[in-house]
Structure formats: structure tokens, C-alpha cells
Amino acid sequence: MRVILAGGTGLIGRALAANLVADGHEVILLSRSPGRVTGLPAGARAEEWDGRTAAGWGPLADGAQAVVNLAGENLGAARWTTERKRRIRESRLNAGQAVVQAVQAAGRAPRVAIQSSAVGYYGPQGDQELAEEAPPGSDFLAQLCVEWEASTAPVEALGVRRAVVRSGVVLSARDGALPRMLLPFKLFAGGPLGNGRQWLSWIHIADEVAAIRFLIETEEASGPFNLTAPHPLTNAEFGRAVGRVLGRPAWLPAPALALRLALGEMATVVLDGQRAVPRRLLDLGFTFRFPEAEAALRDLLL
């Protein structure tokens, strides 16, 4: 099958591409600078796009099995100034618009569209357990996710099955949040962020990729899905798990005030978590390889 990955050169996209080509599938990653994309698995190729339209790459969607939209500016690259928030939002909405344009122009529409989102959709909800039917929050990140998810909704009227993946923190030893989270522990200065009681909904990169494959291949899968391990932890509990795996202390807290001063509004990502659970994935029969955090960390770090 042919799978098109918009925003496919990031952590999740590269891992998904490698998984797909290993099974003999054709994988096309969309990039603004395809000539500078390196390290792709054999069998995957990069095609140019402008991040806003289907110009150039749109015909590739004709007869494709799936379009997976992972595109959007990195939330953690800089403080959320007004201009930065505008760029974050526009990058996501423009990418969704491009996917819709490609599907509209296809003689044979893709069978499925996978739309990326995040558990930030729910906003800060304290200890409340959040399955997919929970309502969205009202903060910037939550409202961004609402619009991001809606950006590809028009493909459903064109007969394309669509699944929305609300990912938690994706754990990988190579990139993403985990290497940055580990640095204080390696310096013997690890511990909770703020009071440590906020929830961390996490998922091993292998389960993230497997879940997306599952949603591509499962005909009855549509609508929103939490891509999180079944057992979220508080930030303090996760820190203790990291400490046990690395053999490092995990008691030195990072004060919430200092984090808010350093990160501004973006501090909500680490100080206001969500206790999301993957109810719909489990109901469809998906099996996690790494449902427990300590086992996931040992697989990634040892």
C-alpha cells in the first residue's frame, strides 16, 4: 500500500516510515526541503510541498491507502509569544487544508486519513480520568487541538474514513521529550516538576507506531483515539521510575514559579498534565507492548 506522511520527517513520522517500509509498503514523506532530508529508510522517499496546499504532491494521494497528517510547528521550540502562537496554529490548519485539497482532487480517494492531535485537547483537568468522550479544555493548547482536529474533517464527506490520534508524550531514546527529561537525572539533579502531582500521559514510540498502523488497517476505526499507555503516572511517579532505571536520585524538585518564568505560557505543557486513557483503542482490541512506564524506560535506556 502507499502511505503519504505529511510532517513525516519528525520523530513519529520517521519511526512510522521505517515500520511501513519494513513490511514492503510504499512511503512518501512530504517536506519543504526534500533534498535536505537524510537518513530515510530504504524504500521511503521525500517529496516537496509548501505546507499549505496540495500543489506538486496532490496526485500521489490518488489511490493511496492512507494519508497521515503529522504536520505542525514544534510546540516546544520557543516561548509562546503572540506571533509564535499564530505560526503554530497556521502551520497546523494549513497542513490540514492541503490534505483536504489532495483528497478532493483524487480520482480514487485514500481509504483513510489519520489526523494528529494531542492529549492537550482536554486542557488541565486535575485527577480526572479522560477517555475520548471528555470535552475539550479552554486554554490555548486545547483550542489549538480542537481546530487542528477539525482541519481535515471535510474528507469524511468525501467518503474517507478518518481517525484522530490524541498522542501523549512519546518516549524515544533518540529524540523528543525523553532525552531532555533525562538530563537532570544524569546530573544527579532529577526530581518532580512543580509539585509533581500533575499527570503524565505517555506512550512508547513502538506503541505509538503500532497504534497508528492499527488505525490505518482497522476498518471500523474512526473518530478520536487517545494514543497513551493504559497506565499514566503523576510527574513525581514518572521521575521515580526514571531514577530507578538509571540508578539516580529523583528528589530534587524544579519549582513551578521558576518554570513559569522561564517558559511563560508554554509551562502548561509540563506543569498541567492530563490523565488520559486509551479506552477506544483497547475496546477495538489493540494490545500495548509497553503498558507500564518502568518497562518502557528499561527498553529504551538499557
Query: CATH no. for residue 52?
Result: 3.40.50.720
Question: For the chain, how many structural domains are there in total?
Answer: 1
Residue 68 lies in a domain: yes
Average of pLDDT values for 51-60?
95
**Per-residue pLDDT, 268:** 80
Average of pLDDT values for 275-291?
98
Residue 99 lies in a domain: yes
Query: pLDDT tens for residues 155-183?
Result: 999 999 999 999 999 999 988 889 988 98
Reply yes or no on whether the pLDDT at 263 is more than 70: no
The set of residues, in sequence order, having a beta carbon less than 8 Å from that of 287 and lying 6+ positions away, is none
**Residue 157 structural domain:** 2-168+203-229+276-288
Rounded Cα distance, 290 and 287, in Å: 9
Residue 73 lies in a domain: yes
Query: pLDDT tens for residues 9-32?
Result: 899 999 999 999 999 999 999 999
Strand partners of residue 169: 202
Cell digits of residue 172: 524515544
Average of pLDDT values for 71-77?
87
Average of pLDDT values for 117-132?
96
Residue 258 lies in a domain: no
Reply yes or no on whether the pLDDT at 115 is more than 80: yes
**Per-residue pLDDT, 261:** 66
Query: pLDDT tens for residues 75-87?
Result: 887 888 999 999 9
Residue 293 lies in a domain: no
Label residue 269 by pLDDT band (50, 70, 90). confident
The pTM score is: 0.95
What is the CB neighbour count within 10 angstroms for residue 248? 17
153 CA to centre of own chain: 18
| Phi, psi angles (nearest 5°) of residue 200 | -120, 110
Residue 110 lies in a domain: yes
Residue 241 lies in a domain: no
Residue 269 lies in a domain: no
